[in-house]
Amino acid sequence: MQWIHKNFDQLAVSELYTLLRERVNVFVVEQNCPYPEIDNYDQHSTHLYLEHDGEIVAYCRLLPHHTIYREASIGRILVTQKFRKQGYAKKLMDKALSIMKEEWGETEIKLHAQSHLQNFYGQYGFETVTDEYMDDGILHVDMILHTKKK
């Protein structure tokens, strides 16, 4: 298994296609949630994913502060169906937070989280900062992690 993190311009067309396909499979098809998946933020993101024998295991996109939000953010967090319930979501979050805190020096990180995942993200220190709200038919909350500067 190999961790890969590339900005948009570093992705080969085939890599981008695979990442977008997996995002659509999870967020649009599995969750039966038609929404505009291609949102013009990928170009400003670092795409972090774990690959095994050419398959995507886990993925998220990392956005610097002042891209979507004032804070840096992690979004489109997923583990593909075949690899779920094996601890990869935790490994993905550990890697994403390490990059954002240690390499980027970010001190605030925001999530637009599905409500049922509050406890999962809470174990990393994310705190819920909004009431629940409906977004594309799924309950969400905003969560923020305040980190210490290195």
Domain membership of residue 119 (yes or no) is no
Domain membership of residue 101 (yes or no) is yes
Number of domains in the chain: 1
The residue among 13, 86, 22 whose CA lies nearest residue 49 is 22
Confidence (pLDDT) at 96: 97
Domain membership of residue 88 (yes or no) is yes
CA distance 126 to 147: 10
Domain membership of residue 149 (yes or no) is no
Domain membership of residue 36 (yes or no) is yes
Domain membership of residue 115 (yes or no) is no
Domain membership of residue 132 (yes or no) is no
Q: How confident is the model at residue 149 (pLDDT cuts 50, 70, 90)?
A: low
Check which CATH number belongs to the domain holding 83 and give it.
3.40.630.30
Domain membership of residue 70 (yes or no) is yes
The residue among 99, 18, 94, 2 whose CA lies nearest residue 51 is 2
**Average pLDDT of 20-33?**
88
Summarised one tens digit per residue, pLDDT across range 39-94 is 899 999 999 999 999 899 999 999 999 999 999 999 999 999 999 999 999 999 99
The residue among 2, 120, 114 whose CA lies nearest residue 57 is 2
CA distance 86 to 82: 10
Angle at 43 between CA 1 and CA 66, to 5 degrees: 105
First to last CA, the chain: 29
Summarised one tens digit per residue, pLDDT across range 86-130 is 999 999 999 999 999 999 999 999 999 999 999 999 999 999 999
Tell me the residue range of the domain where 76 lies: 2-107
